[in-house]
Structure 1
Amino acid sequence: MNISTGLKLILALGLVLTGCTALTERQPPDILTEQTPQSEGLNDDNAIGELMRYHGFLLEKKVFQLAWEYNYAKNHFKDSTDAGERLKYILLISMPNTAHTDIQAALALLSDWPQEISLSPSLASFRELLIALLTEQQTARASMRNLLYKLKNTEEQAQTLQKRIDAIKSMERNPIRRITP
């Protein structure tokens, strides 16, 4: 390769790179204002994304860490006027199988949403989804408790019947007991 060809190649690469940077610097400013409504949608999606990250964060915590998080959220998020913080508290108290699970309180907070706290359309839909899921969960828990109660009664009846069957078998084996009043 000769020197003049190498210089031409370097010069061509320099011009291409300069042209690329000039193109990125000359974007019209109108594009930024047209994207403003989309950025609001991104903020809305970011709010739901933040709630999902918080839920994932809670799922990874140990019992004592959840207790600390619950105390913090109860003091800072429960009566907050920020929709995101309030929804974080609701997610925390609606987690199943924890010491601080309170589905009724979560449903009450969701159902009695303060009018001064406005929600974006996607957060309002998320709130409605939470209400539906927690209502279903509450119904399922009530059904489970009812079925456990029925199972316990059935087991007690089965034990009583088994004792009677054992008593009858015992009487059949011992004819002397049958004769004695």
Structure 2
Amino acid sequence: MSTGRKLWILPAMMLTLLTACSVIPGIQPIVASRSTDLVVTGQMDDMMEFYESIRKLPAPELGQVYETVKQKFVRNKSDANRARLVLLLILPNTSFRDINSALHLLNEWPREAQPTTNLQNFRNLLAALLADQQRLHHSVEELSQKLKDEQKRVETLKSQIDAIKSMEKNLILREL
């Protein structure tokens, strides 16, 4: 066998082996999946660090952060910018708290055809929690309205009882 032919066989065998690995189910390049995991884990770490930093801010600074993040999201609707805006919108005791807008942003989050990432799972968790919180808020509003209606009814009954008592007193005084 000539030297030129031997040099040609080696790349052909390597190509064949690489092709075979890509066809066999269950064998995936390890390096690619690890780098994806690192990126996703980094995104989740960033989100949690962002949340920790904003929840400790005083109101004026928090308002500035909200405006900045909102502007960034308008310019670039990336998953990270969307998640940051949602985290700001669900912060309690803020002037810009808006559960409906946060839920809308979560529901409008583009769903990728790729396997779900931790950030997408985080989105699903937040969407479920906010939907449940919204449902509970509506229940509280309904119960509050029912309580007000009952209080009015009690006041009406109380005034009717007072009127009956007054009529009884008048009748007793007439009999004397």
Say whether the fold is shared (TM-score over 0.5).
yes
Of 156-165 and 103-112, more deviation after overlay is shown by: 103-112
Q: Does residue 58 of the first structure (1) align with residue 85 of the second (2)?
A: no
**Which residue matches 1:5?**
none
Structure 1 letter corresponding to 2:76: S
Counterparts in 2 of 1:177 and 1:41: CA distance versus 1, 3 Å: farther
- Percent sequence identity is 34
Of 56-65 and 149-158, more deviation after overlay is shown by: 56-65
Take 1:119 and 1:108, find their aligned partners in 2: how far apart are those partners? 23
Q: What does 1:36-75 correspond to in 2, within 5 Å?
A: 37-75=33-71
Show CA shifts across 1:71-115 (max 9, x none).
Answer: 112111245232112110011112233221222221221212246
Would you say how many aligned residue pairs link Structure 1 and Structure 2? 146
Q: CA RMSD in A?
A: 2.8
Counterparts in 2 of 1:162 and 1:87: CA distance versus 1, 3 Å: same
Show CA shifts across 1:122-150 (max 9, x none).
Answer: 11111111111111111111111111111
Counterparts in 2 of 1:174 and 1:132: CA distance versus 1, 3 Å: same
**Which residue matches 2:121?**
125
**Which residue matches 2:27?**
none
**Which residue matches 1:168?**
164
TM-score by length of 1: 0.68
Question: Structure 2 stretches of 5 or more lacking a match?
Answer: 1-29
**Which residue matches 1:31?**
none
Of 123-132 and 169-178, more deviation after overlay is shown by: 169-178
TM-score by length of 2: 0.70
Of 170-179 and 51-60, more deviation after overlay is shown by: 170-179
Take 1:155 and 1:37, find their aligned partners in 2: how far apart are those partners? 62
Counterparts in 2 of 1:91 and 1:178: CA distance versus 1, 3 Å: farther
Take 2:174 and 2:38, find their aligned partners in 1: how far apart are those partners? 85
Show CA shifts across 1:49-91 (max 9, x none).
Answer: 2111212222212222222222112111245232112110011
2:145 to 145, 149, 152: 149
Show CA shifts across 1:146-166 (max 9, x none).
Answer: 111111111111111111112
Structure 2 letter corresponding to 1:76: K
Take 2:66 and 2:43, find their aligned partners in 1: how far apart are those partners? 20
**Which residue matches 2:77?**
81
**Which residue matches 1:110?**
106
Moved over 6 A (4+): 176-179
Deviation at 1:120, TM superposition (A): 5.8
